[in-house]
Amino acid sequence: MTARRRVLPVVLALAAVVGVLAWALLRGPAPQRYSATWFDVFDTVTTVQGYAASEAEWAQQAQALHADLVRLHRLFDIYNHYDGIVNLYDVNAGAARSPLEIDELLYDFLGFALQQARDTGGACNVAAGAVLRLWHDARESGVLPDAAALRTAAGHCDPGDVLLRDGTVSFADPALRLDVGAVAKGYAVDRAAQWAESRGLGCALLNVGGSVRAIGQKPDGTAWTAGVENPWPDENGEYHLADIVAAAELRDKTTLVISGDYQRYTVINGVSYHHLIDLATLQPARYYSSVAVLGVSSAAADAYSTALFCLPPDESRALAEAAPGLEALWMLPDGTTFETDGWAQYAHWTAP
């Protein structure tokens, strides 16, 4: 072999090394994993974990994400007024007197929420605030709502009485009240994630009180995963929510939402009363311990997790199977389960 021929492979090898180094420099440092936790949005624990090139970049993204969630929380709050905005507290207080002009975001949200009431046959009904407020007060006071008061309130829950016209909202029924607890978190998760993506956040997992949404995939190319909590109490009535009974794969822009009887409840006279009210019986639904929903929209999954929880099994399964892009897992109080046919494509059982 001549000297020229011996030099050629060395030159090619050096060129390859230089090329790799240049590519690495152009890409920048390998992204690192970060997380943040907040307690001031939607009266729940909010966490976000993700990858960024630097701590400063992550801090900027997390700060903007938190600000968006705070804005959405205040806009959808039915219990408090905030200066400078017309929110759902103001809508409940004044929409029966005259049409109120509202923010475009709130207008779109109400349109979506009313559509979910129609799509679920009223099983998830944001116009049912008159009934849900009585149960909210019962959980706060420890005194069960009066049956006659519940029946009276049920007569003021028609979503058709919420009128959206030209950027305004009004109530045709003066006694109607909105309660958006079944859809607000999921809608907020979708919007906040979309805004974060537009700012360049490409890899994160957002969890607002059990409404979980993936942004992109991990740097190694794998999907995010989210766990389904064990909804069944032990023999002492204690919950072990850290025990994960199923793991769900969340691809980019997919979501997992869980509704369970263990999430918000109070015990009155030895009986547990949770927040998921069956509007057919006007009592907490007793069909399931938990319902988990996978889908491509956190907002829709949030609404459907409530609706599926509040319907008997045959009706619940039929509703889930008729909903496009949605899979569900039902966990019954006796420890048995059933699921939609496509659930196993995204999730699998795991030992607690």
Higher pLDDT, 274 or 316: 316
pLDDT at 51: 97
- Which residue shows structure tokens 């699998």? 348
Q: Which CATH number is 32-75+182-349's, of 3.10.520.10, 2.60.40.1080, 3.90.550.10, 1.10.3660.10?
A: 3.10.520.10
Q: Which residue has the higher pLDDT, 224 or 265?
A: 224
Q: In degrees, to the nearest 5, what angle opens at C-alpha 211 toward C-alphas 208 and 217?
A: 95
Cβ–Cβ contacts within 10 Å for residue 194, how many?
13
Which token pair is 150? 């519940």
Q: In this predicted model, which residue has the larger pLDDT, 16 or 264?
A: 264
CB contact set of 234 (below 8 Å; sequence gap of 6+)? 240
More confident residue, 351 or 19: 351
Which helix (H) or strand (E) element contains residue 33?
Answer: strand 32-41
pLDDT tens string 17-76:
333 333 333 455 689 999 999 999 999 999 999 999 999 999 999 999 999 999 999 999
Q: How far is CA 337 from the centre of its chain?
A: 22
Phi-psi region of 216 (alpha: psi -120 to 50; beta: other; left: phi over 0): left
What is the pLDDT at residue 129? Answer: 98
Q: What is the DSSP string of 36-83?
A: EEEEEETTEEEEEEEEESSHHHHHHHHHHHHHHHHHHHHHH-SS---T
The confidence score (pLDDT) of residue 243 equals: 85
Domain ranges of the chain: 32-75+182-349, 91-110+126-171
The predicted structure's pLDDT at residue 28: 58
Residue 237: which region, alpha, beta or left (left: phi > 0; alpha: psi -120 to 50)? Answer: left
Task: Give yes or no for a contact between 292 and 260, defined as CB atoms under 8 angstroms apart.
Answer: no
Which pLDDT score is estimated for 22? 36
Q: CA dist 175 to 76, 122, 149, 338, Å?
A: 19, 18, 13, 39
Percent with pLDDT over 70 in the chain: 91
